[in-house]
Structure 1
């Protein structure tokens, strides 16, 4: 439950009437009236929810070999929560690495040929066309090597996706796949939430929005104790059915 505090000024006014003659000033009792700010509390039911919550999905295809955590298990960031078979991904890495080795050899050969033709051309013993062909071959070999290196990085990334790690400390709320099933890219695997950062969601009447925006503070009662909250966020979307804003 969340309470939003507002203060207002209250004045005390007293009216006295007498039918008898006024008493002497020495017989009158004096009372001091002070100006005070009294809090006005608006109480609303709120829902405690995790700031970080979501579902981990597969980023590569393969058969599920192991599910290391289940619902209500606590996990730490970086722990492997699920393992996908990696034979195809490992084979792709091997092919990409072999292609890179071949491309590197061809690039080295083209560099040597370029330097040879460049020296001959400097002595005017080679034609301009020969020099242009050597330059083009060298540039093409360099581009092929770069493409092969990029393909290897992509293959390594796909291999890494076979070990699904927890994105943050938290607790498992739902598992969507079992050992032996085949996962496809984008398929949900496991859901969870972090208990490190929590927030309270409240439906606030629109007539109090400006007050909250100005004061930018509230209080929440948790476990019978009031807790001051200074970090208040208003979502700029109103619910027309309830005339509230979150």
Structure 2
């Protein structure tokens, strides 16, 4: 191969790299913060302002339930509270007048007792009516349902015009910034986990830079499943993972176990796979590139271990397509 071509070919000198063993287990993504909103009052759905997949802010209105009956009840209760307050005002003035006359011995003790009893009865009635009015005033807030926090709408279980009843599911939502992967680890391997070291989370269905995530925190649940003899490990995903990850998504957790040992690691992009043959382009001192079969081992992110066919100190081409043209 001409020297000019050799200068343009990007290469890498393969050297042993300390890499620890890994335990790879299946996991599933779930939300640590999810809410199923149910109706608290009966009524027809008169407003539906979101759909599945929408992002909403805290306090954003999700739907509305017909509140005409609640408004009528509120008006009636407030009228009763006003009437009770008027009765209390009359009873107070009567008690003051009777007390004034009693102090001057113009009326009997019995008359004063009757005035006090009337006042106490009116006072109790007014307090009860005001409490009823306060409770009725909450009604409109139950008919206008808003998001409790910034979230993604997971499902909308009603349609515009349908009838809602107390306890009926309306909307389900989750916080995309509070996702976690829950991995299942055999009990026999749980003690070998290095939770003090970063745990990598692979999202096979997510392309690009979001394919690999690093757990923000690791929690090994202190309960063993007696049927599967395994433990659950919660791996908090970074808040940025919510852009691509979703609850229910399949994942793999890569736990570090044991101490690092030297391995020959090469970039995945430098490996050529043709049917059953795995190879790399080895670049000689004169710049010529030849295809050599290798035996691959474990893959780590964008790196793959070479178990046989390549020695430390040899140079490989980073771009197989460019090497094939030389």
**Distance in 1 of aligned mates of 2:48 and 2:182:** 33
Q: From 196, 205, 224, give the equivalent of 1:238.
A: 224
1:204 paired to 2:182: no
**Structure having the larger proportion of residues in strand:** 2
Q: TM-score scaled to structure 2, two decimals?
A: 0.58
Partner of 1:30: none
User: For each residue in 1:166-215, what CA deviation from the matched residue of structure 2 results, as whole angstroms up to 9, or x when unmatched?
Assistant: 11111111111111111111111111111121222122333455676x95
SS at match of 2:23: strand
1:69-148 equivalences under 5 Å are 69-148=50-129
Alpha-carbon spacing, 1:127–1:228, altered in 2? closer, same or farther (3 Å)? same
Alpha-carbon spacing, 1:226–1:56, altered in 2? closer, same or farther (3 Å)? closer
Q: From 213, 216, 219, give the equivalent of 1:229.
A: 216
Determine if contact 1:217/1:229 at 8 Å carries over to the other structure: no
**Distance in 1 of aligned mates of 2:171 and 2:96:** 56
**Distance in 2 of aligned mates of 1:217 and 1:134:** 79
Partner of 1:16: none
Deviation at 1:53, TM superposition (A): 1.1
Determine if contact 2:201/2:215 at 8 Å carries over to the other structure: no
Partner of 1:166: 147
Alpha-carbon spacing, 1:234–1:158, altered in 2? closer, same or farther (3 Å)? farther
Q: From 208, 217, 220, give the equivalent of 2:200.
A: 220
Alpha-carbon spacing, 1:215–1:102, altered in 2? closer, same or farther (3 Å)? same
Alpha-carbon spacing, 1:204–1:127, altered in 2? closer, same or farther (3 Å)? farther
Alpha-carbon spacing, 1:131–1:225, altered in 2? closer, same or farther (3 Å)? same
Aligned residues: 208
State the 4+ residue runs in structure 1 displaced beyond 6 angstroms: none
Partner of 1:42: 23
**Distance in 1 of aligned mates of 2:213 and 2:42:** 50
**Distance in 2 of aligned mates of 1:102 and 1:96:** 10
Determine if contact 1:220/1:229 at 8 Å carries over to the other structure: no
Structure 2 residues without counterparts, runs of 5 or longer: 1-18, 203-209, 233-326
Deviation at 1:220, TM superposition (A): 2.8
**Distance in 2 of aligned mates of 1:148 and 1:130:** 27
Deviation at 1:149, TM superposition (A): 1.1
Deviation at 1:224, TM superposition (A): 5.3
Structure 1 residues without counterparts, runs of 5 or longer: 1-37
Determine if contact 1:117/1:126 at 8 Å carries over to the other structure: yes
Deviation at 1:69, TM superposition (A): 0.7
Q: From 136, 152, 157, give the equivalent of 1:176.
A: 157
**Which region of structure 1 is more displaced relative to structure 2, 173-182 or 43-52?**
43-52
**Which region of structure 1 is more displaced relative to structure 2, 233-242 or 145-154?**
233-242
Determine if contact 1:217/1:228 at 8 Å carries over to the other structure: no
**Distance in 2 of aligned mates of 1:218 and 1:53:** 26
**Distance in 2 of aligned mates of 1:65 and 1:144:** 36
Q: TM-score scaled to structure 1, two decimals?
A: 0.75
